[in-house]
Amino acid sequence: MNMRNLMSLVENPDRLDELQGIKQHQAQNLPTRNAVIAYMEKQGYDLLGVGEYGAVFDHEKFGGRYVLKLFSDPNYEYFVNFCKTQKNPSYPKFFGNIMKVSANARMVRVERLYHLNGAQMDDVMTIDKLVHDVMQDKRDEQEARESLVPVYAELFDAIYQLAMIAPQGASMDIHGGNVMLRRGSTTLVVSDPYDGGEFKM
């Protein structure tokens, strides 16, 4: 599967139900996450990160604009669909549609974000604690928000909103690895707010 074919699949999810058995795209049987990762790397994609429920790939042709996220987490799919309706800059930007790769796996293009430094990670944990305190009625929402500089107030709003609309059974999973930095700015962006869903790849 070449880059053009893969990108067209991301843009037109109706063209492909599963990678397995689709001869026109030269797909092969990819039963596990590790098999998908090996296949993607063989096709020239760079693995940027891997977690329990997914992996993130880059390619030189993306030009730093976005990365390709492979995931097998229904809570993340919920998050993607929610973010597409929001204007808060602390939500990531997604491009195109979610592509179904297999029964349990999806791919989506998301803006390229960057890791936080230690001080920013500490700030994220402080903001998450503020949200937790507000949710537990230990602190007033407006007072908590006003205690933050504007860029952090936007992150507070995003985390608070995500906590309020979390999928049933999902827990918040905010930490320095799930909040990242937008390129060329001081904007902190929630990249993956919920713990994993009910199925794994």
Its domain, for residue 144, covers 118-190
The answer to whether position 20 is within a domain reads: yes
170-190 pLDDT per residue, tens: 999 999 889 999 999 999 999
Statement to judge: residues 108 and 133 lie in one domain:
no
Residue-level pLDDT at 23: 31
Residue after which a domain boundary falls, among 68, 90, 112: 112
| Cα–Cα separations (whole angstroms), residue 42 to 47, 85, 197 | 11, 35, 29
More confident residue, 155 or 32: 155
More confident residue, 55 or 23: 55
Q: Read off the CATH number of the domain in which 31 is found.
A: 3.30.200.20
159-172 pLDDT per residue, tens: 999 999 999 999 99
More confident residue, 16 or 174: 174
* 37 pLDDT tier (thresholds 50, 70, 90): confident
Residue after which a domain boundary falls, among 86, 112, 138: 112
Measured CA to CA, the distance from residue 111 to residue 162 in angstroms comes to: 19
99-108 pLDDT per residue, tens: 987 778 889 9
Q: What is the pTM of this model?
A: 0.83
Measured CA to CA, the distance from residue 3 to residue 129 in angstroms comes to: 42
The tally of domains found in the chain comes to 2
The answer to whether position 67 is within a domain reads: yes
Residue-level pLDDT at 102: 75
Statement to judge: residues 139 and 97 lie in one domain:
no
Residue-level pLDDT at 54: 86
Statement to judge: residues 20 and 71 lie in one domain:
yes
Asked if the model's pLDDT at residue 22 lies above 70, the reply is no
